[in-house]
Structure 1
Amino acid sequence: MSASNPAEGADMSDAANGGSDRTFTDVIFDLGGVVLRWEPHRAYEQVMPPDQVGDFMDEICFKEWNLRHDAGRDWDEGEAELISRMPHRREAIEAYRRYFDQTITGMVPGTGAIMTELRQADKRILALTNWSADLFHPTRRRFGLLNRFAGIVVSGEEGIAKPDPQLFKIVFDRYGVDPESAIFIDDNPHNCDTAEGLGLEVIRFTDATAARRRLVELGLLGERPVVPGPMYHIAKRKQWEAAKEHGNYCWSTRRVTYETQGFVHCCRAAQVADVRKRSYSDLADDELVVLQLDPSSVSAPVIMETDPATGEEYPHLYGDLKPADVTAELPVSAVVGAAL
């Protein structure tokens, strides 16, 4: 996988032109640095002090070495080649693949909400990523948000990597994409240059807020609707107490993590009783806590989505639920009773 870290405040491509007279049907996302956070140094920190990682990555020419694996090189071969030159570095060289899961540190804030809004606006979303095939498959299983793409082209499966134009053309041919009707979102300037040369509208990703602003300018999205509050999330009391102690609440709903789902399930006061009956009927009220949140002040976007099973609309928090987001911790009876 490869990604860049553009300077904060970098301009969005073509931002000075305002809107566009083109009609867009497809949006193609890069993954690392746009949808998922990728911090490769985390793998090496498992086997050496953090202050030594940068020098080691320079020593092995990490960006070039990793890009060759993104383009399909076999990992055993790649590691063996480095070890033959630096046998004293075997443990460190093998650390990246061994601890790769720890380099994917979560979802990029706000991008999941944009993906959902584009789907609600009847735009097709695709992904084009530089990623080793062997390392991509477990990541795809880990993050449910990736299932929302209509298709994903992985460089390691194709044997070529961005910015090679041929990888873009695979997306065009496989999914019937007209470059004149498509937008490409990536944080790497070289990839953006290639995409622009192929006729795609390009958004150079710096953060989700700026990317969404550009999508509004291009006419794909409108201003985000205000979700009236309050909204509620039912949690197991022990899990919530642990989250307050450690600062990390990893759940979307019962037995489903935030990473697996891609958002945190919430509901209106009038829906609390049904959610409690459907998902927590075997637990006593004192084993649960109802968390009250204000959609206008939480740390992540809130999107209303329809549950296909019930036809009801529910508010979904597209970010992990932080203790600071909670305005009140209530017993189930207080919310259910007030809603009756």
Structure 2
Amino acid sequence: MSLNIVFDFGGVLFRWHPPSFLARVWPHRVANETEGAAVAAEFFTAYGGDWGAFDQGLIDAPTVTARIAARSGWPLAEVAQVVAAVPDELQLLPDTVALIQQLKQAGHRLFFLSNMPEPYAEHLEQSFPLHEWFEDGVFSGRVKQSKPRAEVFELACRQFGVTPQSCVFLDDHPANIEAAKALGWQAILFSDAAEARRQLASLLA
């Protein structure tokens, strides 16, 4: 049986762990991951607010930088440093690459659905062979919609030419998994590639 498997990117195919990221980028402000989690909550606002608008392509990098600095009181230059450092944080997770290659060899169709601002989407396309791994994909910054809103899942199905029931979605955020399931998708909360492989095998059994 062949599946349409749809991958999230941050935390699934690419490293994305804001607490440790901020501890590396802002060592003068963030001493450890515990502090990093608190700062990340304020910086990224749970991917709503100004960062959510950046994810959706509704504002650009200078605008999100200015808005974060204005509401937080952090210096503009330091906020800009974090925004500029995100691409280097998005390092490939080799175990997920191996899973992708295995799934492709088994004949499954692979797609992606990622909340990703346009500048970071361009970086990923230029730095990694996304077109070799995936038939097609949706970046939130290009379609002006983001997870967990139903509209972006519906748009993805239309663009990929698939039905919700034929899709299996891999994402590391429970809210996105719940949204996908509510629309009829099968979905796996991603923790690591080995567990995703086990759960996919169960679906195919």
TM-score band by shorter chain is 0.7 to 0.9
Query: Secondary structure at the residue paired with 1:194?
Result: helix
Give 5+ residue unaligned stretches, structure 2. none
Shift in alpha-carbon separation, 1:85–1:202, aligned structure 2, 3 A: closer
CA contact (8 A) 2:2 2:107 kept: no
CA contact (8 A) 1:24 1:181 kept: no
Match of 2:31 in 1: 51
Match of 2:154 in 1: 169
Residue deviations 1:73-92 (CA, integer Å, cap 9, x gap) = 32222222233345552122
Query: Secondary structure at the residue paired with 1:38?
Result: coil
State the distance in 1 between where 2:130 and 2:76 align: 35
Shift in alpha-carbon separation, 1:159–1:47, aligned structure 2, 3 A: same
State the distance in 2 between where 1:154 and 1:88 align: 29
Shift in alpha-carbon separation, 1:213–1:56, aligned structure 2, 3 A: closer
Query: Secondary structure at the residue paired with 1:138?
Result: helix
Equivalent runs, 1:255-334 vs 2, <5 Å: none
Query: Secondary structure at the residue paired with 1:36?
Result: coil
Task: Measure how far apart 1:114 and its partner are.
Answer: 1.6
**TM-score scaled by length of structure 1:** 0.53
CA contact (8 A) 1:26 1:182 kept: yes
- What is the letter of the counterpart of residue 84 of structure 2? R
Query: Secondary structure at the residue paired with 2:25?
Result: coil
State the distance in 2 between where 1:119 and 1:33 align: 20
1:101 counterpart = 2:87: yes
State the distance in 2 between where 1:138 and 1:88 align: 26
Shift in alpha-carbon separation, 1:205–1:60, aligned structure 2, 3 A: closer
CA-based RMSD of the aligned residues comes to: 2.3
Match of 1:36 in 2: 14
State the distance in 1 between where 2:123 and 2:83 align: 12
Shift in alpha-carbon separation, 1:67–1:192, aligned structure 2, 3 A: same
Shift in alpha-carbon separation, 1:148–1:46, aligned structure 2, 3 A: same
Residue deviations 1:308-339 (CA, integer Å, cap 9, x gap) = xxxxxxxxxxxxxxxxxxxxxxxxxxxxxxxx
Bigger share in helix: 2
State the distance in 2 between where 1:59 and 1:92 align: 14
State the distance in 2 between where 1:86 and 1:206 align: 31
Task: Measure how far apart 1:43 and its partner are.
Answer: 5.4
Match of 1:92 in 2: 78
State the distance in 2 between where 1:85 and 1:31 align: 28
Shift in alpha-carbon separation, 1:62–1:48, aligned structure 2, 3 A: farther
Alignment equivalent of 1:210, drawn from 191, 195, 201: 195
Runs of 4+ residues deviating >6 angstroms: none
1:131 counterpart = 2:109: no
CA contact (8 A) 2:12 2:172 kept: yes
Task: Measure how far apart 1:145 and its partner are.
Answer: 5.2
**TM-score scaled by length of structure 2:** 0.85
CA contact (8 A) 2:5 2:111 kept: yes
Task: Measure how far apart 1:217 and its partner are.
Answer: 1.5
Match of 2:4 in 1: 26
CA contact (8 A) 1:133 1:157 kept: yes
- What is the letter of the counterpart of residue 80 of structure 1? A
Task: Measure how far apart 1:131 and its partner are.
Answer: 0.6
Match of 1:115 in 2: 100
Residue deviations 1:217-260 (CA, integer Å, cap 9, x gap) = 2228xxxxxxxxxxxxxxxxxxxxxxxxxxxxxxxxxxxxxxxx
Give 5+ residue unaligned stretches, structure 1. 1-22, 221-340
Residue deviations 1:97-126 (CA, integer Å, cap 9, x gap) = 22122222x222421122112211221100
State the distance in 2 between where 1:206 and 1:148 align: 20
The alignment-based identity, stated in percent, is 27
Bigger share in strand: 1
